[in-house]
Amino acid sequence: MRHFDLVIVGTGSGNSLLDSRFADWEVALVERGTFGGTCLNVGCIPTKMYVHAADLAATPEHAGRLGVDLTLDGVRWPEIRDRIYGRIDPIAANGERYRRDHPDNAHVSVYTGTARFTGERRLEIDGETITADRVVLAAGSRPMVPAVPGLADVPFHTSDTIMRLAALPRRLAILGGGFIAAEFAHVFSSFGVEVSLVVRSDGLLRREDRDISMQFTKLAAQRWDVRLGREPERVERRGDGVRLHLDDGATVDADALLVAIGRTPNSDLVNAAAGGIELSPYGYVMVDAEQRTTAEGVWALGDISSPWQLKHVANHEARVVQHNLLHPNDPIESDHRFVPHAVFTAPQIASVGLTEQEAQERGVAYVTATQAYSGIAYGWAMEDGTGFAKLLADPRTGLLLGAHVIGPQAATVIQPVIQAMSFGLDARSMARGQYWIHPAVPEVIENALLNLPLP
C-alpha cells in the first residue's frame, strides 16, 4: 500500500495546485475522465468557442436593420467541431503527458480511475489502495439526468457529448431552461437547427434577476419553440429520432435530445461519507472558509464543494488551498463575496451580487436603477432595443449590492462593477471619479450609476 504526502482527486483546477514548491512531496494525482477537467474538455472553453462561431452565423439575421444585406451560405459543422477540439484535445493530452513523463514531475504518480474513500484519508482506485497525509478533492460535477420513463431507452446527449456530434440535427429538443440550455439553444439555432426547449418553470434563467429572466424569456420565445411550465411524462424512440410526451398532452419530435437540467457534484462517486466528510443536502462537500472539509487533512475545491460551479471560482479556491497546504500556520480564506457569472447566449447576460428578489427576501434596503442600451450612443450604433443594465445599491452608503446586464458584450461590460464592489467603491465615486470612453458600451453602466436615486 503506497502512502503519499498529498493526493489530489481531479485534474481540472486541482492540477494547478502543483508547482515547484511541491517538488519534495510525494503526490498522487487521480483522474476518472479526461485530463484537464470539465472546463477544458466539455465546459467553458469549447462552449465559448462554439458560441463565437454561432454569433458570426447569426449576424445576417440582425444586419438588415443596419442597411447591410448579408446571407449565411452554410455552416461546416465538422470543421467548426474539429477546429475546436483540434486545439483542446492536444492540450488535455499534453497536460497528462507532462504530469506522467516530465522530469519536473518525478515525484508525481498519475492514476487513471475513480478514487473512492474507504476510510480516513484512505482511497481505493480500481482495486489499489493508497493513503495520504493530505487529500484535496477537486473531482468536479457531472450532468444530471432525470428519471423520465423511456429516457434510458433512447439516444440522448448531455453537455459532455453534444459538442462531438458527427453532424448537425435538423431538430433539437432541449430539456432545461438554465444557462447550459440557453447557450446550446443559441449555438444550434444559429447554425440552422430548429430548437425546442421544454422547461419545468415558468421562465428561462429563473435564478437571474427577475427583470433579466423575464426579458430573456420573451426574446427566447421569439426565436425558439419554448414550452414553459411543462415536464416530459415519457420519451420514446421515433424513427431515427425521439418523441417527448409532455404533461399537457402535447408532443415534441426531434432528431436529437439534449438533457440540460443542471449538474450534480461528484461527492457520491468518491464515497465522501466513508472518509468522514459531511455533505450539504444537495450533495456538495461542506467546507469552511479555508476550504477544509469536516475530515482532518482533507480540503475540497471547485464543483464538488461549490454551488456556483464556475471555473473562476474553482481557480480562486485552488489558490487558497495551495497556500494553505504550503503554509498551514498562516492560512488564508476564500473570498466569495462577489461571485460574477455570465451566460453566453443571445443576448449575453452577466450578473454579480444580489438580485432584486434576493434583496427583498433578505430584507436588505436598496435602491435600483436601469439603463437601456437604446439610450446610449453605441446602442444607437447597434440599433439595440432590448438590452439594459440594472443596478442595486445601498441607499445609505451608495455601495453597489448587485448588477445585472442583458445585451451585447454583457460579460465584459459588467467587469468594472465587479471591481467596484470588490474594492468598496461607491456608485457616485465610480460614476464621476473616472473617465468613461465615449461612445462605448460601458456607458450603459455609467448612466445606470447616475440613474440611482442616491443623495
The residue type of 198 is V
- Give the separation between CA 239 and CA 150, rounded to whole angstroms: 15
Q: What pairing do the DSSP bridges indicate for beta strands 349-353 and 367-372?
A: unpaired
Nearest CA among 348, 454, 455, 452 for reference residue 390 = 452
- Cα angle, residue 94 at apex, residues 92 and 99 outer, rounded to 5°: 100
- 367 neighbors 401 (Cβ within 8 angstroms): no
Q: How many CB atoms lie within 10 A of CB 412?
A: 14
- Give the separation between CA 166 and CA 183, rounded to whole angstroms: 20
Does 62 qualify as catalytic in the annotation?
A: no
Residue 234 C-alpha cell reads as: 415519457
Q: Which residue has the cell 444537495?
A: 282
Q: E strand or H helix at 381, and its extent?
A: helix 377-382
Query: What is the largest distance, in Å, between two alpha-carbon atoms of the chain?
Result: 72
Q: How many CB atoms lie within 10 A of CB 73?
A: 6
Catalytic residue among 3, 102, 327, 438: 438
In the three-class reduction of DSSP (H, G, I as helix; E, B as strand; rest coil), residue 353 is classed as strand
Q: What pairing do the DSSP bridges indicate for beta strands 2-9 and 128-137?
A: parallel
Listed as own residue / partner, the contacts of 55-61 with beta carbons closer than 8 Å and 24 or more positions apart are 55/190, 55/346, 57/190, 57/191, 57/192, 58/186, 58/190, 58/346
| Sign of the four-CA dihedral 399, 309, 306, 302 | negative
Q: What pairing do the DSSP bridges indicate for beta strands 141-143 and 263-265?
A: antiparallel
Instruction: Give the Å distances, CA to CA, from 306 to 116, 317, 334, 435.
Output: 20, 9, 11, 37
- Give the separation between CA 455 and CA 447, rounded to whole angstroms: 16
3-state secondary structure 150-161: CHHHCCCECCCC
Burial of 200 (0-12, 13-18, 19+ CB in 10 A): middle
Report how far apart the first and last C-alpha atoms of the chain are (Å, whole number). Answer: 68
Enumerate the active-site residues. 438
